[in-house]
Every structure is written in C-alpha cells, then in structure tokens.
Amino acid sequence: MRSTSRFLEQEYAAIFAKHAPALERVVRRSVEIKAAVVAQDEREKGKRAILNFGHTVGHAIEATSKYEILHGEAVAIGMVYEGRLAETLGIAPAGTPDASRRSSSACTCPSNVGCQPGGRADRRDAQRQEDPRG
C-alpha cells in the first residue's frame, strides 16, 4: 500500500496529464487492492471498512459546505482528520495524517477545511454576497 502511495505522490503529474501507462497502473493497483480487501471481508464486518477511509468526515464536510466542496476534496480532507484521530487513538501508525496530507497536496486537493483562501468556496461566497438572491 505504501508503494502505491509513493507512486501516486511521484507520478501525479503523469496521472493528471492522463498518461495512459500511469493511469493503467493506478487503476489496476486500485482494483487489486479493493478486490483483496473485499475477498477478505465479503460481509463488511471488519477490514473492509478501510475502503471507507476519509468518507465519514468527508461526507460531513460535503453536507456542511452545501456541496461546495467536491466529493474527492472532502474525502481527502476527511482522510487527514480521520488519520489524525486514528493516530491519536493508537490504531494507525505514526505519520498517517502527514502521509494523507502529502498525497492530498501532491494531487492539488485541500487537506484542511478552510485552508484555501480565494478557493472555489470563497469565490462562491463572494458571488452570493454580490447577488442578493443567493
């Protein structure tokens, strides 16, 4: 799993440029990881929960932002927060939130709520203030 994270961090430019070999490797590895997890926990009673990493907090961020924050961005932020909580509780290795933050930053996703002054949500708020209809 760590080698996949390193690959994503190192090859994000090729991935975002839609370079076919990089995309093929990302998709293939993602499917392999998901299939292995599902095969170990077909009834979703244990390890399979890892596939939801970042989603619990991410969905809350989406909802409270009235969906101004995109799903992937919200999940990226959720991964940092959930990683910090898991690290604090001693159920994730030290450095988990930092690794999530690095991956998010490499992919130009936010890693913190409200850390993007002038970002999409700020621009929409400014537009709402200019337009009395909201």
Mean pLDDT taken over the chain: 80
3-7, 47-51, 87-91 — most confident range: 87-91
CB atoms within 10 A of CB 73: 25
Question: Which of 50, 72, 89 is at the close of a domain?
Answer: 50
3-state helix, strand, coil split of the chain in percent (to 5) is: 70, 0, 30
Tell whether 97 and 34 lie within a shared domain. no
Residue 85 has pLDDT above 80, yes or no: yes
Tell whether 26 and 91 lie within a shared domain. no
Mean pLDDT within 39-64: 89
**In the structure, what pLDDT confidence band is assigned to residue 64 with cuts at 50, 70 and 90?**
very high
pLDDT of residue 123: 47
Q: Dihedral of CA 37/76/1/93: which sign?
A: negative
Question: Which of 34, 50, 66 is at the close of a domain?
Answer: 50
Tell whether 63 and 41 lie within a shared domain. no
CB distance 96 to 86 below 8 Å = yes
Tell whether 83 and 124 lie within a shared domain. yes
Provide the residue type at 41 as one letter. Answer: D
Q: Number of C-alpha atoms within 13 angstroms, CB side, residue 130? A: 6
Mean pLDDT within 9-28: 87
Tell whether 65 and 16 lie within a shared domain. no
CB distance 29 to 6 below 8 Å = no
Reduced to 3 states, what is the DSSP secondary structure of residue 60? helix
66-77, pLDDT tens digit by residue? 999 999 899 999
**In the structure, what pLDDT confidence band is assigned to residue 2 with cuts at 50, 70 and 90?**
low
Which residue range is the domain that position 123 belongs to? 53-134
- Among residues 80, 66, 90, which one has the least CA distance to residue 113? 80
Q: How many structural domains does the chain have?
A: 2
State the Cα–Cα distance between residues 101 and 104, nearest whole angstrom: 5
CB distance 60 to 82 below 8 Å = no
